Chains A and B, each alone.
Chain A
Amino acid sequence: MEFDKKSLLKLGKLARISISDDKLNNLSKDLNSILEFVDQLKEIKTDQVDPTSNSLNQKLEVRDDKVDTKNSAEDILENAPEKEMDFFVVPKVIE
């Protein structure tokens, strides 16, 4: 799979990460080499294998519907770079 600059810029936009022009070439090269490495998997024949989303042979663990409040608003907001009146604060988002 070829990872061109256009796809790279789109990916950057979707993740809200700005990519400067001088980094484009190197980043594109890096990503391509990762994809090439992963592409080796395609050499395995899988047409006789059911699609699987997980290779662990286990059942999904479930929990009971019990409330456990470990954190207060103060605790969780301690991680916020900016906060006000118990809210996280971010630059204005215009819809």
Chain B
Amino acid sequence: MVAQMIEGWNLVIGIEIHAQVNSKSKLFSSSPTDFGSKPNSQVSLIDAAMPGMLPVINKFCIEQAIKSGIGLNAKINKKSIFDRKNYFYQDLPQGYQISQYKDPIVGEGFVEIETENGQKKIGVERLHLEQDAGKSLHDQDPNLTFVDLNRSGIALMEIVSKPDMNSPEEAVEYVRKVRSILRYLGTCDGNMEQGSLRADVNVSVNKPGNELGTRCEIKNLNSFKFIHAAIVYEAKRQIKLIEQGDSVNQETRLFNTQSGETRSMRSKEDAHDYRYFPDPDLLPLTLDDDWIKGLQDSIPELPDQIKERLINEYSLSSYDANIIVSDKAISRYFEDVVKNRNPKLVTTWVTGELFSILNKKNLIIENSPITSKQLGELVDNIENGKISNRQAKEVLEEMCESGKGALEIIDEKGLSQISDKNEIESLVDNVLNSNPENVKKYKNGKDKLFGFFVGEAMKLSKGKANPKIVNDLIKKKLSQ
């Protein structure tokens, strides 16, 4: 465990999340935002920063920032200002990024995460709107860098946390939670592989009771695994430095996903001097109460609320409820199946059996080979006693391979369980009549033979008899 590795040390972590707004067009231009298009095919004269071009803000993006702010329990600022953040880089044709500095659209808020020691509140410092930069390719040519401006100008929400996290696990939980909230709200698709959500992580270490250590920022982490690994590596590195009597330099570092190490990108001395100032092309953004109120009313049920409802309505455990609400697609699937069915059975089949199949096939629930309707049909057949749990597993696997419905497979394979009392009774009579010796022994106190009778009856039915009815009948007959 990480906690042991850094025993005697405090870990302090703050995170900046960059979440791409789920808009069709860019923040200040009407260029499309599609992922994976031909290089430079989504670049307007504004995105390429041609002289005389003026930015006009996308109303939808403003609304998504406000909704995200509400989802993060944060204060919405009725007046916010767009600033220019100046730096020179080849994928930033304007020479500055339009961002928000002193007056962001969203102020302080918080999210709740689950930790080993129960619930923990993680503070959100702010959320602001800004432009994404283009993409540079450094490995195409030994002497040249290639630039694609398709991403340039796409709207990002930068969500800055307070330094409230104290372990890599908490950091991962925080990013998971924010991602989940944004996905429930529909303001960001949360696709980390495509870079729609990425995290910069600030890490420092100190001895308990001492003042905070010097922090390093690790840039651009795009998976939960990398966030965890980068924090572990960085904490170890800093502890080693301090234990050797060296000091930690405040710097920006990059995480190498191949080696699992971080390396220095630039130190504080080379840190950028961004010379922020209000963008003269853009007036302050003012929000009136009606606009905010309208958006407030459009906020869907969020994970924390759904969790509470699942626990109240279906008596789910907190553990199961957490798994189900961790993602919008999962909770939607679960609620589709659970309607008018046994919640406990449905939970087992969704979070247990279905998840293990998805894991094995490396799929997410959105492209599950089994629809919620199909799984519901399977659960119905378990609930009405037509098939046993064990048979249902077999059916589920077959459903997955063939795409056929549960009933069709049950009929085809002749799997259906015998639940007819008369039929089972004649099986049981048959077993008891052909084993008079054992019946005598059982009645004289050899209880263990009960299992023998059940086994024989099941064997006789070729495994199809409903075990519960078999048990009940044998018990009844032997006590007569």
* B-binding residues in A (CB < 8 A): 10, 14-16, 53-54, 56, 58-73, 76-77, 79, 84-95
Contact = CB atoms under 8 A, between A and B. Distances in A.
Chain B binding site: helix, strand, loop or mixed by DSSP?
loop
A35 B289 CA distance: 41
Interface string B356-382: 000000000000000000000000000
A58 B138 CA distance: 44
Contact of A85 (B39, B136, B282): B39
Contact of B25 (A58, A59, A68): A68
B62 interface: yes
A62 B58 contact: yes
Given A69-B32, A84-B146, A63 B58 contact: yes
B385 interface: no
Nearest to A56: B283
Contacts of A94: 138
Given A63-B58, A89-B145, 5 more contacts: A14-B87, A14-B273, A70-B44, A86-B40, A87-B39
B48 A60 contact: no
Given A14-B88, A63-B57, A93-B136, A87 B273 contact: no
B43 interface: yes
B278 A54 contact: yes
Interface in B37-81: 38-45, 48, 50, 56-62, 81
A92 B41 contact: no
Contacts of A66: 24-25, 30
B41 A73 contact: yes
Contacts of B58: 62-65
Contacts of A54: 278, 280, 283-284
Contacts of B89: 93
B143 A92 contact: yes
B148 interface: yes
B474 interface: no
Contact of A15 (B45, B88, B90): B88
Which 10 pairs across A and B sit closest by C-beta, in order of nearness? A53-B278, A65-B60, A87-B146, A68-B30, A62-B59, A88-B147, A86-B39, A60-B283, A73-B40, A73-B41
B142 interface: yes
13 contacts: A14-B87, A61-B56, A63-B57, A63-B59, A66-B24, A66-B30, A76-B40, A76-B48, A79-B50, A88-B40, A89-B146, A90-B147, A92-B143
A36 to B, nearest CB: 20
Give the size range of B's interface with the partner: 35 or more
Contact of B144 (A61, A70, A90): A90
B41 A67 contact: no
Contacts of B41: 72-73, 86
A65 B59 contact: yes
B265 interface: yes
Contact of B285 (A60, A68, A69, A71): A60
B40, B41, B138, B254 — which one has the most chain A CB atoms within 10 A of its CB?
B40
Contact of B147 (A16, A68, A79, A89): A89
Contact of A69 (B31, B59, B144, B284): B31
B182 interface: no
Nearest to B285: A60
Nearest to B146: A87
B278 A65 contact: no
B287 to A, nearest CB: 10
A88 B62 CA distance: 31
A94 B62 CA distance: 36
Contacts of B32: 67, 69
Most chain A CB neighbours (cut-off 10 Å) among B61, B81, B284: B284
> Which residue, of B59, B137, B145, has the highest number of chain A Cβ atoms within 10 A?
B145
A77 B278 CA distance: 30
A83 to B, nearest CB: 9
Interface string B137-176: 1101111111111000000000000000000000000000
Contact of B44 (A71, A84, A88): A71
A66 B265 CA distance: 38
Given A73-B40, A92-B138, A95-B265, A67 B285 contact: no
B286 interface: yes
Nearest to B134: A88
B23 interface: yes
A67 B283 contact: no
A92 B24 contact: no
Contacts of A73: 38-41, 43
B270 to A, nearest CB: 10
A62 B280 CA distance: 16
Given A89-B145, A91-B145, A65 B24 contact: yes
Given A62-B62, A84-B146, A92-B142, A76 B283 contact: no
A87 B42 contact: no
Given A62-B57, A73-B40, A88 B149 contact: yes
B250 interface: no
